[in-house]
Amino acid sequence: MLFETSKGRRRLFKPGDPYHYLRTGKNTPNEKDIPRKYRELLDWYHHDYTGGDNTEKIDPILSLRGLGKEIWNPEDADSYVSQLRAGWR
């Protein structure tokens, strides 16, 4: 199955890509349904293209949540903003 990344651009579907909730079809063919000489492409898709296993991965950006919070812990957010704005006048 192809996934549209932007108008006129498509790539192979990857697990985690959004799709219509009523879609019930398969994303890849069954290995037994394709000729033997093309099975290595299916192996490539599952192991290399999609990143190996199909387990849900943690978003690297979202994993940064809370990083460095100990730096800001003693500082009150409102007083910090007030200090910054005091220099504007």
pLDDT digits (tens, 9 = 90+) for 74-87: 888 888 888 889 98
What confidence tens digit (pLDDT) does each residue in 11-65 have?
A: 988 888 888 888 888 888 889 999 999 999 988 988 888 876 545 567 788 888 8
Q: Find out whether 42 and 29 touch, Cβ atoms under 8 Å.
A: yes
Look up the pTM and report it.
Answer: 0.48
Q: Find out whether 3 and 13 touch, Cβ atoms under 8 Å.
A: yes
Q: Taking every pair of C-alpha atoms in the chain, what is the biggest distance, in angstroms?
A: 74
Measured between alpha carbons, how far is 12 from 2 in angstroms, rounded to an integer?
Answer: 5
For the chain, the distance separating the N- and C-terminal CA atoms, rounded to the nearest angstrom, is 58
Residue of 46, 64, 45 lying closest to 55 (CA atoms) = 46
Region for residue 8 given its phi and psi (left: phi exceeds 0; alpha: psi -120 to 50; beta: otherwise)? left
